[in-house]
Copies of this chain bind each other. A is one copy, B any other.
Amino acid sequence: MDIPAVQTEREEITSEKMAQTNPLPVPMGPWKITVYDQENFQGRRMEFSASCANIMECGFDNIRSIKVECGAWIGYEHTSFCGQQFVLERGEYPRWDAWSGSNAYHIERLMSFRPICSALLLQNHKESKLIIFEKENFIGRQWEICDDYPSLQAMGWGNNEVGSMKVQCGSWVAYQYPGYRGYQYILECDHHGGEYKHWREWGSHAQTFQIQSMRRIQQ
């Protein structure tokens, strides 16, 4: 049989049975994102299956709505993958505030984007692992994380800061505020060797050690 196992399994499930059963995880297909230069999926549109360092080279002045059809992506405020970072998982984002975590300043730009290659599939998701450290340079109190934490403090972390982080498996997003709000910092096992030893390495938009929630990125 050339048909992959997951396909066969799917065919055996009748639509009636499907209604009673949790859906199977969607297998990872090719990366796919569609960007629009107007809100609500209007205006000029373009599909991508790989990274884009400068949307202006495609004739866009900005990206104002997004549909992610496959994979997990990072959007960046500026060209060449700089500035604020925005996690983009599968689904529909009709306007800037659907992906932005902060309106501390309101530039509303998304000029480059790329796939998050180290994001794990659902079935491997439990292997995700990250260590957070109290101080920069991987010193002080440490805590191994394998799950999502909407409030690090509620789970026992001492304060509202994290000094440094090592990603051992998968990809993660850390947030400034509890409940996955505020600035987003995407952390990948295949970037910087997974080592983020100071807030200056979390992204060009980072300005403090403040991190109050974090979670795994799935695809």
Binding site for B on A (CB under 8 A): 18-20, 22-26, 68, 72, 87-93, 95, 97-104, 122, 140-144, 148, 150-158, 160, 176-182, 212-213, 215, 217-219
Contact = CB atoms under 8 A, between A and B. Distances in A.
A158 B23 CA distance: 9
A171 B218 CA distance: 23
Contacts of A140: 19
Given A90-B153, A155-B25, A181 B99 contact: yes
The CB with the most chain B CB atoms within 10 A, among A91, A100, A212, is that of A91
A93 B177 contact: yes
Nearest to A122: B155
A121 B92 CA distance: 32
B141 A18 contact: yes
A76 to B, nearest CB: 15
Contacts of A22: 143-144, 156
A156 B24 contact: yes
Contact of A23 (B87, B157, B213): B157
Given A154-B26, A215-B150, A142 B90 contact: no
B180 A90 contact: no
A171 to B, nearest CB: 12
A181 B215 contact: no
B25 A89 contact: no
A113 to B, nearest CB: 14
Contacts of A87: 150, 179
A109 B153 CA distance: 25
Nearest to A26: B156
A213 B217 CA distance: 13
Given A215-B148, A218-B150, A178 B20 contact: no
Contacts of A213: 89, 91
A80 to B, nearest CB: 23
In the A-B complex, list the 6 residue pairs whose CB atoms are closest, starting with the nearest.
A23-B156, A91-B178, A90-B154, A89-B151, A98-B177, A180-B180
Given A23-B155, A142-B19, A89 B179 contact: yes
